[in-house]
Amino acid sequence: MSPITSTVVTGIGELVTNDPSAGEGPLGIVNDAALVVDDGTVAWVGPATDAPAADRRVDVEGRAVLPGFVDSHSHLVFAGERSAEFEARMSGVPYDGGGIASTVRATRDADDDTLRRRVKALLAEMRAQGTTTVEIKSGYGLTVDDEARALRIAREFTQETTFLGAHVVPPEYSGRVDEYVELVTGPMLQACSPHARWIDVFCEPGSPHAFDGDASRAVLQAGQEAGLELRVHGNQLSYGPGVLLAVEHGAASVDHCTFLDDEDVAALVGSSTVATLLPGVEFSTRQPYPDARRLIDAGVTVALATDCNPGTCFTSSMPICTALAVREMRMTPVEAVWAATEGAAKSLRRKDIGHLRVGARADLAVLEAPSYRHLAYRPGVPLTRTLEIPS
């Protein structure tokens, strides 16, 4: 039997291409569409009636097909769980970021296979909900060996690995932030950079657990010198320098963006830095949501991601994040779908994913529904899955 090289996916009731020149509106929608996949790549897109022949045919019977979700912000390498802390928070106990220490303890105590199994299980959850690219951060080891281990394990699953030694100051460095920053920018960076594409920092001067502007700048500069590209956790819990630092250093993304002043928004407009919003966090912490409308209306590129982590947001679901973006942040369904696919791809500086133009990676999500609108219209319903194309 000769190997299958091309597949025509047909019977697509509504195809979201994210290519405005291929179809209607910003999502480039083609109705009654087909798409040819050749050797893992999109080779042809258009009306089903014009579809060329292929070795194999997959009929999706009128369902909607969209680019697989790009989850550009997750913390999957950890052990333990914090459901009791969540319950306490929902009963009124305030969140201050201190719970991360318990995950750090559990992660340091876990063996490699325990961590690997957890990552694998969470990625399977994500894939089952239509996510085809995932960025994974370290940040629960916070020693040279434990951070390098987290990144080695993450690398087994994705190229989009992020060194987040500057997640929080670990308890053993309490009151000695400067010494910890020296460790992060010195031996830890050296051990971690071979396994990472990105470096990230939790810039939150008001938090006793995170890093101020000067420390964040030192981390970003050291990462850049070591050849890593930049991402920033910024402006999550209060106003601060995170966004301006990210733009100034040409970071690909600044994530959270809950508390922004006019200067922050102005800096993002026309910059190469994407504002990544993580509405699952505000949902899970009862914090105010970021003002997505203000950013989009100003012309800022906005992405959506889960921030899947055991403390502030333990969802792996991009569909629920798009529903929250629409319901709670007043994004339109079109904006939310774009932000969860092409917007998030831009936040990873990837041109081969997040859209279905010819030449893109054939990462497809299929909905048990006729339209992308059902993602926000039917929250919590398992409509989305990844469409596996045999190669």
**Integer Cα distance of 142 and 168 in angstroms:** 8
Shortest reach from residue 164's CB to Zn ion, in Å: 8
Residue range at the interface with Zn ion (CB under 5 A); choices 35-43, 81-89, 268-276, 307-315 = 307-315
**Integer Cα distance of 287 and 131 in angstroms:** 26
Nearer of residues 183 and 254 to Zn ion, judged by Cβ: 254
Sites for Zn ion among residues 232-251 (CB under 5 A): none
Residue range at the interface with Zn ion (CB under 5 A); choices 11-19, 170-178, 302-310, 360-368 = 302-310
Is residue 135 involved in binding Zn ion (CB under 5 A)? no
**Integer Cα distance of 318 and 312 in angstroms:** 16
Nearer of residues 307 and 335 to Zn ion, judged by Cβ: 307
First and final CA of the chain: distance in angstroms?
Answer: 14
User: Residues 117, 138, 73, CA angle at the centre, nearest 5°?
Assistant: 90
Q: What is the 3-state secondary structure (H, E, C) of 241-296?
A: CHHHHHHHCCCCEEEECCCCCHHHHHHHCCCCCEEEECHHHHHHHCCCCCCHHHHH
Nearest residue (beta carbon) to Zn ion: 307
Residue range at the interface with Zn ion (CB under 5 A); choices 142-150, 239-247, 300-308, 372-380 = 300-308
Residue type, position 77, single letter: V
Mapped onto helix, strand or coil, the DSSP state of residue 37 is strand
For 47, the enclosing helix (H) or strand (E) is strand 41-47
Residue range at the interface with Zn ion (CB under 5 A); choices 63-71, 305-313, 339-347, 354-362 = 305-313
Count of residues that interact with Zn ion, criterion CB under 5 A: 1
- For residue 46, give every residue at least 6 positions away whose Cβ sits within 8 Å of its Cβ, in sequence order, or none: 22, 30, 33, 34
Query: Which of 204, 307, 342, 363 touches Zn ion by CB under 5 A?
Result: 307
Shortest reach from residue 46's CB to Zn ion, in Å: 39
Closest CA to 30 of 47, 44, 5: 47
Shortest reach from residue 248's CB to Zn ion, in Å: 21
Residue range at the interface with Zn ion (CB under 5 A); choices 52-60, 223-231, 301-309, 344-352 = 301-309
Contacts to Zn ion by CB under 5 A: 307
